[in-house]
Amino acid sequence: MAQNNNYIFLVDDEPIQNEMLKDYLSSRFGYQFKTYETGEEAIRDLNLNPEIVILDYHLNSHIPDTQNGVQVLQKIKELRPATQVIMLSGQDKLEVAVDSMKYGAYDYVVKGETAFSRMENILNNINELHGYKQSNKTYKIFTVFLGVAIVMVILLSVLLVRKFDVVVPGH
């Protein structure tokens, strides 16, 4: 597996949850992983430009005076809008999922026996989306280059016609 220089931040106030998720995902993906117990710690490291942040919804359950997951999500999206944030929560409530998505979460995963495999599928989807975005960018660059080349050929043709006073048939 090739090493990826992009980061995934795992933000959960339960260190065991962070380590288990890190072990599971690092065996399947070549990202560099950083774990945090608070959103404030993760926000301080946003200069590393993480591609993905997996963020616990109830961050302040064990550590008083810290921001909750939605507050951290809002700050991440404000500072790094391109970063994909996946909310992770023990609550299987539609309102919580909708609230997360409203503030820019890519997806919402309920902690449980299928959470890790669901997370793996989401990361595969994000990687696929990233590949499509790269292809789209390449296509746009190629299209602009081709357009410029066509304009240059037309201009060169016009200049050659004028320079050599070539009579164009039918005119």
Total structural domains within the chain: 1
**Alpha-carbon span 127 to 130, nearest angstrom:** 5
pLDDT value at 168 more than 70: no
Q: In this predicted model, which residue has the larger pLDDT, 137 or 12?
A: 12
110: which strand partners? 89
Beta carbons of 18 and 10 less than 8 angstroms apart? yes
State mean pLDDT over 131-147: 85
141 in a structural domain: no
The pLDDT value recorded for residue 138 is 85
The pLDDT value recorded for residue 67 is 85
Nearest to 4 by CA among 34, 33, 45: 33
Report the share of the chain in percent with pLDDT over 70: 91
For the chain, count helices (H), then strands (E).
Answer: 5, 5
pLDDT in tens, 73-104: 999 999 999 999 999 988 888 888 888 899 99
Cβ neighbours of 22 (radius 10 Å) = 17
Report the share of the chain in percent with pLDDT over 90: 53
What's the gap between Cα 59 and its chain centre? 21
168 in a structural domain: no
22 in a structural domain: yes
150 in a structural domain: no
23 in a structural domain: yes
Record the pTM: 0.75
Cβ neighbours of 119 (radius 10 Å) = 20
The pLDDT value recorded for residue 157 is 86
Beta carbons of 25 and 35 less than 8 angstroms apart? no
**Alpha-carbon span 29 to 2, nearest angstrom:** 9
69 in a structural domain: yes
Q: Kindly report the CATH number assigned to the domain that includes residue 109.
A: 3.40.50.2300
Domain of residue 111, residue span: 7-133
139 in a structural domain: no
Cα diameter, the chain: 85
